[in-house]
Amino acid sequence: MTVTADLAISLDGCIAGPGVTLDNPGGNGAEPLFEWIHNLASWRERQGMTGGEENRDSELMREWFDATGAVIMGRMMYDTGADFWGENPPFRVPVFVLTHRPHAPLVKQGGTTFTFVTDGIHSALAQARAAAGERNVDIAGGARTVQQYLREGLVDELQLHVVPALLGAGLRLFEGVGVGERRLEQVRVVETPLATHLKYRFVE
């Protein structure tokens, strides 16, 4: 079982624009980070739609879906996504939401359950590991949540979908992830017209 973080990122290191709010979850000017995903066949399938492009980008997205057995996210990501995801969210696995506000678990269609964890990132990871079985646990976001797990050295693999755009400002993934050297080994590089997909494994 591997703990992963799989994120779209701009060339200048942003995974969201400035001004992230409940009504503006990606932040200002962040559209290029996500435009490449919307027409992929694997993504559309998970949203309950048909059609879309079957290409290398779609294959990588499907690989993530198939490998992931549980997801961890922050409360902001949940709050900004819940209405959009509706009653049949695209995760189809247990999701553990980090929060300071207790909430009863929510069981949705398609295999997604939301469990609200109030006792920290280690507890959420332990619960996610137990739920994932032999499949991966993915730290989905937002930025602050991923940074917490990176800072604690709890992420095994990092996949970055580098989009050819400069946001200029926003939430930068590698700010506040601690001091000291962290070494990674390159697992693969996949180049497509839409993004450059970089996969790394942290070296102990």
pLDDT digit string, tens, across residues 100-153: 999 999 999 999 999 999 999 999 999 999 999 999 999 998 888 999 999 999
Cα 68 versus chain centre, distance = 11
Please give the backbone phi and psi of residue 172, each rounded to the nearest 5 degrees, phi first. -95, 130
Q: What is the pLDDT of residues 140-195, one digit of tens each?
A: 988 889 999 999 999 999 999 999 999 999 999 998 887 678 899 999 999 999 99
Task: Say how far apart CA 57 and CA 193 lie, in whole Å.
Answer: 9
